[in-house]
Amino acid sequence: MTAAWVTIGVLFVGTALSKAAGPLTIGGKAPGGRAMSVTKLVAPAILAGLVVYETLSAGGDGMRLDARLAGLAAAALGISARLPMIVIVLLAAGATALARALS
């Protein structure tokens, strides 16, 4: 078994345990409105952090500013303009491709 499969197995068990911990800790009570609103923001915040980290990371050597940053900026502009998701993806891909072609 490779290290990748061990990692996948460990992540699976950790995810299952964390999902089981919620109902076990609060019993049959429903969380309050504020707790639910905070919980709904956790996954998007983690995903946004991962996207920024992967876009700007230089493999452990600090930050790297390259064509991916242009795609991320284009996607951010598309999101702020409330464009449909497919348009945002195409806009980001086009901006990244253009930045790579110009560099």
pLDDT tens-digit map of 29-80 = 877 888 888 888 998 999 989 988 888 887 777 777 888 999 999 999 999 9
Instruction: Tell me what pLDDT residue 15 has.
Output: 93
CA 25 to chain centre: 27
Better pLDDT: 54 or 85: 85
Q: What is the pTM of this model?
A: 0.59
SS3 content of the chain, % helix, strand, coil (to 5): 80, 0, 20
- Sign of torsion, CA 28 30 31 36? positive
Better pLDDT: 7 or 39: 7
